[in-house]
Amino acid sequence: MASMKKILECVPNFSEGRDLEIIKKIIEPFRAQKGVKLLDYQMDEDHNRSVVTVVGEPQALKVSVIESVGIAIDLIDMRTHTGQHPRMGAIDVVPFIPVQDISMQETIEFSKAVAEEVAEKYNLPIFLYEKSAKKTERQNLAAIRKGQFEGMTEKIKQQQWTPDYGPVEIHPTAGVTAMGARMPLVAFNVNLDTKQIEIANQIAKKVRHISGGLRHCKAIGIELKDRGIVQVSLNMTDYTQTALYRVFELIKIEAQRYGVNVVGSQIIGLVPMEALVDCAAHYLGLEDFTMQQVLEARIYA
């Protein structure tokens, strides 16, 4: 067991969600590279998009990401791409997330190094986004992506949208790519014992940041028609500052005024251990507890 291994997560989004053979080739570098582990990949036919989850040591991750990007450029042609999800490039977005023994600042530096090398090697324009963004208006991926692949040819020529790395023109078949460091997202849904979607919408509005709620929380109401209930669907964008239990308790309180109960919750996909340990520590009222008391954190530290 090596001591103090730095680990990053990377969740590249590729604009191909229908041809499994192509996706298999794109993710092959993650399977082959020592020091990197492919955790998951999900293809979405309607979106025509695949989301890949890998973790690894920085240097090994860098090598495999660069290789995978090269394969995606070769195999995906955006000129013929259709799908429901907004997209601007063959490798649409490549977020890097600190997982173990690596700071956000190091992750930002890492993302810039990868972006620079990818831009140079493949002549691909790259925008730094989220925590790596050099300009405020580039923090938000949606703002960068506005206009999509079809609009990028012109958009990239505006001084405001000069790419951070690579040429000031789109890659003819691969478009442009966003890369950057971000906190892990936790997809967390809270279920309510009512059929009324308006109640879920109202509560979502109260707990989400944009309309006066918690700082690192996005939320919408969703109907679960087969179960005859609704849910507040949450995207927690920084659980280290906005803990899961806090939004959960707030939703319980807001639900009371509608005479509605919280009947359960769900975590979709992966969640960092610390996000749940924080909840246990809160509900048990743990005093002076540190993550260093978690056996697994010590084993792999």
Question: Which tokens in the block code for residue 137?
Answer: 């208006």
Q: Per the residue annotation, which of 85, 209, 216, 282 is the catalytic one?
A: 85
Of 32-40, 70-78, 173-181, 211-219, the segment contacting a copy of itself by CB under 8 A is: 32-40
Return the amino acid letter for 150.
E
Contacts (CB under 8 A) with a copy of itself, residues 36-65: 36-37, 39, 55-56
Alpha-carbon span 127 to 116, nearest angstrom: 10
Q: Do residues 249 and 190 touch, judged by C-beta distance below 8 A?
A: no
Q: Do residues 97 and 60 touch, judged by C-beta distance below 8 A?
A: no
297 near a copy of itself, judged by CB under 8 A: yes
Of 118-126, 150-158, 232-240, 272-280, the segment contacting a copy of itself by CB under 8 A is: 272-280
Q: Which C-beta is closer to a copy of itself: that of 7 or that of 124?
A: 7
Annotation marks residue 85 as catalytic: yes
Give min distance, CB of 280 to a copy of itself, in A: 4
Q: Which of 151, 172, 228, 264 binds a copy of itself (CB under 8 A)?
A: 264
Question: Which tokens in the block code for residue 65?
Answer: 């990401």
Q: Do residues 13 and 51 touch, judged by C-beta distance below 8 A?
A: yes
Give min distance, CB of 297 to a copy of itself, in A: 8
Q: Which C-beta is closer to a copy of itself: that of 19 or that of 274?
A: 274
Question: Which tokens in the block code for residue 271?
Answer: 């969640």
Helix 273-284 vs helix 244-256: angle between axes, to the nearest 10 degrees?
A: 60
How many residues does the structure list for the chain? 301
Beta strands in 45-185 (DSSP E): 49-56, 91-100, 126-128, 177-181
32 near a copy of itself, judged by CB under 8 A: no
- Kindly list the residues in this chain that would bind a copy of itself in the complex (CB under 8 A): 1, 3, 7, 9, 35-37, 39, 55-56, 99-100, 184, 191, 244-245, 248, 262-267, 269-273, 276-281, 283-289, 293-300
Residues forming the active site: 85
